[in-house]
A and B are shown apart, each in its own frame.
Chain A
Amino acid sequence: MTDVWARLEETIDELSHVTDIKSAAVVRRDGLVVTHTLPEGVDPKIVAAMTAAIVGTSEMATVQLAQGRFVRAIVESDHGKLLSLGAGDEALLVALVYDDANLGLVLMAMERAAKQVEQILQDGSTG
């Protein structure tokens, strides 16, 4: 097990224990899974590819509409929400949350985790 991967797993595990977050994942921007806590029955490969597609398209939309920098994507549905945001140049962070979740708290936790992921990746590339 690589050190970078183990630290990412620790970060995602911690994020998954935040109240209102069902599960979470770190994925690469090209749509490959790095680590996740997604439940049985959910295909992490599909979640990773869809997240990368959602973020890529959203970033393109913000550029085309001259809306500045992309911050995050939120997909709301009957049974919950899917939140995704960038975590450095290489990775994305995605979380599945309950439909009545306190989004403010969840987003704070996600932004903190995204910064941790970015730092881990920077440490990994220099060390």
Chain B
Amino acid sequence: MPATEEGSKRLLDFFVYGMLRAAESLGNPPLFLRTVAEEGLRKFLLVNLPTFQASDDATEACDAFTKAADRSGLFDGSDTVFRGDANTVHAEIGDRCPYRRVCTVRHDEGRPVHCIRTYAIAEMLRIRLDADFDWKLTRFGRPCQITIQRSRLGRT
């Protein structure tokens, strides 16, 4: 394990950057990243957030999930804000996002920014609300702005 918090962050940056490049080289980053989020999240929800109960309202579910992840020590969610309703969520993610450094590097390189946080949130919604959600990073910056919507391709 890295000796310092900064070392842990660098290790995370290293793995996430490599994962994103691998996802692109395989030709379908959304599939790759969604699958990583899904596989990791099922275990994470069971082991680390056993008491987390998602509301049927997507905005409330996103808020509750972020607060639960924050409490579990995964990341600092205090500068993450969700507004919206049961079907549409407008999220703002601030400077404390653990992936910000990698996203900034990719943005500066002119590569697409794939929001790992939102992949995880969309998968959480799919797992817990049994509904598909589409999302879009509408602005990369401080804060990042993301819109998450119940998919029109879904059955319900």
Contacts and interface: CB of A to CB of B under 8 A. Distances in A.
A4 interface: yes
B73 interface: no
Contact of B34 (A8, A31, A124): A31
Interface in A1-52: 1-2, 4-5, 8, 28-32, 34-35, 49, 52
A58 B156 CA distance: 32
Contacts, number: 61
Interface residues of A, number: 27
A59 interface: yes
B25 interface: yes
Contacts of B110: none
Given A31-B35, A32-B132, A49-B35, A1 B155 contact: yes
A67 interface: no
A56 to B, nearest CB: 3
Contact of B155 (A2, A31, A49, A52): A2
B40 interface: no
Interface in B119-156: 126, 132, 151-156
Given A31-B35, A49-B35, A60-B25, A5 B154 contact: yes
Contacts of A60: 25-27
Interface of B: 25-28, 30-31, 34-35, 126, 132, 151-156
Interface of A: 1-2, 4-5, 8, 28-32, 34-35, 49, 52-53, 55-61, 90-91, 121, 124-125
